Amino acid sequence: MLLVMDIGNSSIKVALYNGADMAHYWRVSTNRNYSSDEYGTILDGMFRHAGHSPSMVEGVMVSSVVPTINFTIDHMCRDYFGHEPLFVGPGIKTGINILYENPRDLGSDRICNAVAAYTHYGTPCIFIDFGTATSFGVVDAKGCFLGGCICPGMKLASEALVSGTSKLPHFELVMPDGSYTYLLPDIAYHNDKFARGFDVLIDLFGADHHGYIARLKAAAQGLGLDPAQIDIRLVQFAILYRGGERVQMSTRAGSFVTLRELREEVGTDAARYFYVMRGNDQHLDFDLDLAKSQSNDNPVYYIQYAHARICAIFRQLAEKKWSHTRSAVETARTRLVEPQEQALLMELFRFPEMVEAAAEHDAPQLIATYLREVAGEFHSYYNATAILVPEEELRNARLGLCLAVRQVLANGLALIGVSAPETM
């Protein structure tokens, strides 16, 4: 399949072609500050969300009028798609003659427009491209590109007209059906939030809306608001798998799985844990069968089972009519000398710092990962060590350790909104 990219001053149009058929189309905002990895991560996420793999790409062609990011795009294509991109420009055989005094002055976008008009509509023809600038071009009956002209685009012309006149007011561009673009209601929404006294606004955007951040913050600043008080988080796509097969979803086609449906299928605990165990900036492959399984491979089951296992130990203690007290536990804790006991204690000591780090960095996934590590340490300890031994002091010491593990698991699960069952 062929990957084509049209890099403009405002946006990058990306399309994937299978022969002459366009398999998918995306649009990404142009950001001159992005690295090749940032562009690669965005495109990789879009590919995965649409059910495509970067390995499907057999070649890359790029038209760019932003030379400053060509080097970045070149590296991104090599690193993420495994191909050196072909940049459209003078010297590329296109099937038409360019009758320009200096063909190197002609933008690659205008070359592509001329070829597209010549190929799809025949000659002679005039083509118009509405973008940051509005460009006109002429191809004669012999298939020669004669030239054209470039004018300010609609937005630039509107802004210039308003700034250069005293009585003409600024106006918002609207959609053809009369509805407003996304930006206007979003600005009103944020203005209303601040008017109601909120100090910080947190927005969750899809990874493909990264270019929207600068516009929204600039609009807020224009209203006299502090852009620093708007905290915008980019969330990568979640991909569902059932029976080893990807669940196909498309918002355009109206085919998708709602979060409510997901909770009904796998349960609230599994849904919450699986979403929390990855950072917002990481892709989530949600395996529905794994989330419903009762196995050690299912992380939420693995953690909850550790908590339930400890509760079962204390039920067995009661059945044996043995008892323990806090003072007895504290007295006996010096008996915890086994390597696995020491390792488990050290893991428990990390809990406060993990909570602090998660809060400081807004990273609940740190808690989820930590709980799985604690559960792993406990299961290993439980399988290798007898807890309810006849010797009372040693038994009390190990029961105290189990109580500490249960408390940490219960507290950690509560922080991420997952239950801590006593039986399973």
Q: pLDDT tens digits, residue range 11-34?
A: 888 999 988 888 888 888 888 888
**Of 35, 69, 87, the domain-final residue:** 87
Q: Which of 109, 129, 208, 287 is flagged as catalytic?
A: 109
Full domain range(s) for residue 407: 299-415
Q: Do 318 and 366 fall into the same domain?
A: yes
Q: Do 309 and 345 fall into the same domain?
A: yes
* Residue 405 placed within a domain: yes
What whole-number percentage of the chain has pLDDT above 90?
Answer: 36
Residue pair 216/184 in contact (Cβ under 8 Å)? The answer is no
* Residue 119 placed within a domain: no
d(CA 234, CA 208): 8
**Of 235, 260, 281, the domain-final residue:** 235
For range 239-265, the mean pLDDT: 78
**Of 235, 257, 274, the domain-final residue:** 235
Q: Do 231 and 262 fall into the same domain?
A: no
Q: Do 329 and 393 fall into the same domain?
A: yes
Q: Please name every residue paired with 127 in a beta bridge, in sequence order, or none if there are none.
A: 137
Q: Do 220 and 303 fall into the same domain?
A: no
* Residue 67 placed within a domain: yes
Q: What is the mean pLDDT of the chain?
A: 86
Q: Do 374 and 311 fall into the same domain?
A: yes
Q: Given a cut of 90, is residue 413 above it in pLDDT?
A: yes
**Which amino acid is present at 204?**
L
Q: How confident is the model at residue 178 (pLDDT cuts 50, 70, 90)?
A: low
Q: What is the CATH number of the domain that holds 76?
A: 3.30.420.40
* Residue 136 placed within a domain: no
* Residue 123 placed within a domain: no
For range 45-51, the mean pLDDT: 86
Q: Do 278 and 253 fall into the same domain?
A: yes
* Residue 122 placed within a domain: no
Clarify whether 203 is annotated catalytic: no
Other beta carbons within 10 angstroms of residue 217's beta carbon come to 18
Q: Do 277 and 322 fall into the same domain?
A: no
Structure tokens that stand for 43 in this block: 């495109």
Q: Comparing 374 with 162, which gets the higher pLDDT?
A: 374
d(CA 248, CA 253): 11
Q: Do 9 and 73 fall into the same domain?
A: yes
Q: Do 332 and 394 fall into the same domain?
A: yes
Residue pair 108/137 in contact (Cβ under 8 Å)? The answer is no
Q: Do 319 and 262 fall into the same domain?
A: no
Strand order in the sheet with 59-64: 21-29, 11-18, 2-7, 59-64, 86-87
Q: Do 310 and 224 fall into the same domain?
A: no
Q: Return the ∠ at Cα 249 (arms to 243 and 250), rounded to 5°.
A: 165
Count of the separate structural domains present in the chain: 4
Q: pLDDT tens digits, residue range 96-115?
A: 788 877 777 778 888 888 88
* Residue 355 placed within a domain: yes
* Residue 45 placed within a domain: yes
